[in-house]
Structure 1
Amino acid sequence: MKKYILFSVIFIALGALNAVNAQDDIFGEWKCTNDEGKVNSIVKIYQKDDGEVCGKVVRITKEEDRDKLCTACKGDLKNKPIEGLQLMHGLRKDGNEYSGGEIIHPKSGKEYKVKIWVDENDPDKLKVRGYLAFFYKTMTWERAE
Structure 2
Amino acid sequence: MKSKLLIASTFGLFLSANAFANDIAGKWLQIDDKTGTSKAVIEIRKDAKDTYTAQIVKITPRPGYTPQEKCKDCPAPYTNQPILGMDVLKGLKLVSENNYDGGKIIDPLTGKIYSAKARLNSTGKRLTLRGYMGISAIGRSQTWIRQ
Same fold (TM over 0.5): yes
Q: Deviations over 1:32-55 (max 9, x none)?
A: 111211111000000122322100
Residue 31 of structure 1 is matched in structure 2 by: 29
* Aligned equivalents of 2:38, 2:19: Cα separation in 1: 27
Give the TM-score, by structure 1 length.
Answer: 0.82
Residue 142 of structure 1 is matched in structure 2 by: 145
Counterpart residue type for residue 36 of structure 1:
T
Give the TM-score, by structure 2 length.
Answer: 0.81
Whether 1:115 aligns to 2:114 is: no
Quote the sequence identity (%).
26
Residue 53 of structure 2 is matched in structure 1 by: 54
* Aligned equivalents of 1:72, 1:25: Cα separation in 2: 32
Residue 131 of structure 2 is matched in structure 1 by: 130
The alignment partner of 1:78 has SS state of coil
Q: Are the counterparts in 2 of residues 100 and 113 from structure 1 also a CA contact under 8 Å? A: yes
Higher deviation after alignment, 126-135 or 77-86? 126-135
Whether 1:90 aligns to 2:91 is: yes
Structure 2: stretches of 5+ with no match in the other structure:
none
* Aligned equivalents of 2:109, 2:47: Cα separation in 1: 26
How well do the aligned residues superpose, as a CA RMSD in angstroms?
A: 2.3
Deviation at 1:128, TM superposition (A): 0.7
Q: Deviations over 1:80-121 (max 9, x none)?
A: 11111100001222122221110001111111111123212x
Aligned pair partner of 1:105 in 98, 101, 107: 107
Greater helix share, structure number: 1
The alignment partner of 2:18 has SS state of helix
